[in-house]
Amino acid sequence: MSNNDSFIDEVSEEVRRERLFHLLRRYGWIAIVVVVLLVGGAAFWEYQRAQDRAEAAAFGDGIVAALALETPEERRDALLSMEAQGTRRALVVMLAADQLEDDTARQTTRDELDAIASEESLPQIYRQLAVLKSVMLAQADTAPEEVISRLDPLTAPGAPYRLLAVEQQALAHVRAGDRDAAIALLGDILSADELTRDLQQRARQLTVALGGSLDAT
């Protein structure tokens, strides 16, 4: 390679270097901003995850503490007084529905369940469970026709609480004096593939008590 060629290469390399430095001076701040955003975003994400874990732990501790109280009234009041929103609120109300000691507590819990059932922002599975629990609490003092009607949407094929809703409808038919309708619904329960052992036992016992036959089940 001649001295002239070497000189040209050196000049070309110097020009490229100068252009690179010029670009860095002009646009280097963009790279710095990108790095800062990436690092800051990762730090914020980790902070949010830590906050979520802490909130979940505090929520779980609150439930454990509430359920450890001595009387049903104390447990129910502690659960319903917890600061919770969305699905967490739905959960504490469901738990409170099992802590009833009188008619006032029953009505208060029914009101809470009905509020959850009508909250459209909640997943349907929570809303349907709220309906089921509310109806179960109201079974003894609500017209059978109203119970059956309110549970109809829960008995659709594939609904998560279908068999439990059908069981409650059968009980409503018993209260209405329609034994045959109750036995027919119990037969539907006993022939279902997703039948659990506890529900099977209850359905069989009620069928026998109503004078029905278990031969076909």
Look at residue 141 and give its three-state secondary structure. helix
Q: DSSP assignment, residue 81?
A: T
- Taking a C-beta distance cutoff of 8 angstroms, is the pair 41, 33 a contact? no
Residue 14: the pLDDT is 59
Q: How distant, in Å, are the alpha carbons of 83, 84, 101, 123, 173 from that of 95?
A: 15, 13, 14, 18, 28
State the Cα–Cα distance between residues 35 and 83, nearest whole angstrom.
Answer: 39
Q: How confident is the prediction along the chain (217 residues), in pLDDT tens digits per residue?
A: 454 555 455 546 655 666 666 666 666 656 666 677 777 777 777 767 777 687 778 888 888 888 888 888 888 888 888 887 888 888 888 888 777 767 777 888 888 889 889 888 889 999 999 999 999 988 888 899 999 999 999 999 889 999 999 999 999 999 999 999 999 999 999 999 888 999 999 999 999 999 988 875 5
Alpha helix (H) residue ranges in the chain: 3-67, 72-80, 86-96, 103-117, 124-138, 144-151, 162-176, 179-190, 197-209
- Give the global pTM: 0.66
The residue written with tokens 């129910």 in the block is 76
State the Cα–Cα distance between residues 127 and 87, nearest whole angstrom.
Answer: 10
Residues written for the chain: 217
Q: DSSP assignment, residue 121?
A: T
- Taking a C-beta distance cutoff of 8 angstroms, is the pair 135, 113 a contact? no
The token pair at 142 is: 């609500």
